[in-house]
């Protein structure tokens, strides 16, 4: 499965993931608590610079990542247009663009492994509370393996439905799909037990 | 123990897989995305604790940058966008759905799971969801609540579907419906 890490090499890829995560938390907290249009504008310009620095391809990719916001930007424009408060609307929109832009930048420039390591390290004090961070890696691997498998099972069910019925399959596929997940879970659990259990291959 | 662990992981994968299948169109023509139905099912099938863990795992993987949300979305940006509250509310929704299904043992599973899915997938999910929209869009809670109303009918239908699917699974694999086991 693809991850959202950018293929374009940038200097940011080499920065450690932990500090990047911390930085994005601080930037977001400051942006939202200050709520200042000046600060948000500066942040947006800085962000544009950070996106543009590694080249046009990276900039384009970064802007594409902000597309998820357009329904909300439209909403803000309509709302503040009607209420006659364009300045407040611009402040909200810039704040939103800056916050999402910075967070996306971290996602685009950090490899999944590095992020997982950073989070697992940060969570390791929770070991004392009985949490087992090393299980996260196995869970991640299972999800990554079974998502496409269950997706394929879903399309097989839809095809089988189409072969028998004139109409497209709908919610009727959901119960058999959930059943497939339950049965797969049984098989995988058995296989894991046979190989010494979840904690069997612990580091 | 392996069963419970693997069930959590595979239900997280089920939510992700539900984002891959095309939007389901109901007889009335209302299209619904199945992913929040998957969140409800995690609760009603796996129970409060395991259901919430499954959804938490899913949300964590989205945060780490796996494109598991419908439309191939993922990454940290979503957690500061206006829909962040709904993502954060997902595990709570599954917990509430599971808790209600577990507690209402003496009424038929369809009704208990439908009610649980509605309380979890609507009440418990909308509260943080609306709060998130209010915060990021700088609106009052009431104004943000108004923006969420178009999703209400679809989510009500999903709650009934979750109840019905849970009842089907209860007939097919009674020992695997951990909320009632």
A175 pLDDT higher than 60:
yes
Higher pLDDT, A125 or A155: A155
Q: Which of A1, A4, A79, A93 to mutate to test the interface with B (most CBs of B within 10 A)?
A: A4
A178 pLDDT higher than 90:
yes
List, for residues A148-165, the tens digit of each pLDDT value.
899 999 889 988 888 988
Chain B window 10-49: which residues touch A at a Cβ cutoff of 8 Å? 10-14, 16-18, 20-21, 24-27, 34, 37, 41, 45
| Res A202: pLDDT | 46
Q: Which of B25, B27, B80, B156 to mutate to test the interface with A (most CBs of A within 10 A)?
A: B80
| Chain A, nearest residue to B157 by Cα | A171
List, for residues A193-203, the tens digit of each pLDDT value.
998 888 765 44
| Res B62: pLDDT | 92
A91 touches chain B (CB under 8 A): yes
CB atoms B14 and A103 under 8 Å: no
List, for residues A65-115, the tens digit of each pLDDT value.
888 888 889 989 998 999 888 888 999 899 999 999 999 999 999 988 888
Percent of chain A with pLDDT over 70: 96
B66 touches chain A (CB under 8 A): yes
**CB neighbours (10 Å) of residue B1?**
11
| Res B165: pLDDT | 96
The answer to whether A131 and A123 are in contact (CB under 8 A) is yes
Pairs across A and B, CB distance < 8 A? 199
ipTM value for the complex: 0.89
CB atoms B165 and A174 under 8 Å: yes
What count of residues does chain B have?
181
Distance from CA of A166 to the nearest CA of B (A): 14
Q: Which of A91, A133, A178 to mutate to test the interface with B (most CBs of B within 10 A)?
A: A178
Chain A window 8-37: which residues touch B at a Cβ cutoff of 8 Å? 24, 28, 32, 35
A59: confidence class by pLDDT, cuts 50, 70, 90: very high
| Res B22: pLDDT | 66
Q: What is the mean pLDDT of chain A?
A: 87
Find chain B residues with C-beta within 8 A of A99's C-beta: 80-81, 136
Query: What is the mean predicted confidence (pLDDT) over A33-53?
Result: 91
Which residues of chain B carry a pLDDT beneath 70?
A: 22-32
Q: For the whole model, what pTM was predicted?
A: 0.89
Closest CA to A93 of A111, A70, A115, A121: A70
| Res B25: pLDDT | 56
Distance from CA of B88 to the nearest CA of A (A): 16
List, for residues B28-40, the tens digit of each pLDDT value.
445 567 899 999 9
For residue B54, give every residue at least 6 positions away whose Cβ sits within 8 Å of its Cβ, in sequence order, or none: B7, B8, B9, B11, B12, B15, B42, B46, B94
């Amino acid at each position: 499965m693809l991850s959202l890490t950018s293929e374009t090499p940038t200097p940011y890829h080499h920065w450690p993931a932990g500090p990047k995560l911390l930085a994005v938390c601080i930037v977001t907290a400051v942006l939202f608590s200050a709520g200042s249009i000046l600060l948000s504008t500066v942040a947006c310009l800085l962000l544009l610079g950070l996106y543009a620095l590694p080249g046009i391809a990276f900039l384009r990719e970064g802007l594409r990542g902000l597309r998820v916001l357009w329904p909300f930007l439209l909403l803000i424009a309509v709302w503040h247009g009607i209420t006659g408060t364009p300045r407040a609307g611009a402040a909200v929109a810039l704040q939103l663009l800056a916050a999402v832009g910075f967070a996306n930048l971290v996602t685009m420039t950090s490899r999944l492994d590095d992020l997982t390591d950073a989070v697992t390290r940060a969570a390791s004090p929770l070991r004392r509370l009985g949490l087992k961070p090393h299980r996260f890696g196995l869970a991640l691997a299972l999800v990554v393996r079974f998502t496409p498998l269950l997706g394929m099972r879903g399309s097989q069910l839809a095809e089988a439905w189409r072969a028998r019925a004139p109409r497209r399959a709908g919610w009727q596929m959901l119960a058999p799909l959930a059943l497939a997940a339950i049965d797969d879970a049984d098989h995988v659990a058995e296989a894991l037990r046979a190989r010494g259990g979840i904690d069997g291959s612990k580091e | 123990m392996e069963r419970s662990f693997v069930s959590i992981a595979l239900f997280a994968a089920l939510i992700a897989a539900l984002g891959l299948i095309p939007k389901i169109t109901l007889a009335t023509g209302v299209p619904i995305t199945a992913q929040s139905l998957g969140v409800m099912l995690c609760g009603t099938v796996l129970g409060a604790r395991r259901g919430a863990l499954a959804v938490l795992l899913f949300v964590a993987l989205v945060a780490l940058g796996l494109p598991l949300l419908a439309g191939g979305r993922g990454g940290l940006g979503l957690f500061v966008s206006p829909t962040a509250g709904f993502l954060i509310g997902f595990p709570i929704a599954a917990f509430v759905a599971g808790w209600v299904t577990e507690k209402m043992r003496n009424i038929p599973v369809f009704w208990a799971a439908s009610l649980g899915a509605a309380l979890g997938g609507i009440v418990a999910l909308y509260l943080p969801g609306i709060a998130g929209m209010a915060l990021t869009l700088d609106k009052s809670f009431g104004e943000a609540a108004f923006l969420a109303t178009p999703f209400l009918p679809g989510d009500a239908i999903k709650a009934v579907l979750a109840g019905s699917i849970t009842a089907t699974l209860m007939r097919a694999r009674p020992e695997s419906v951990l909320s009632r086991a």
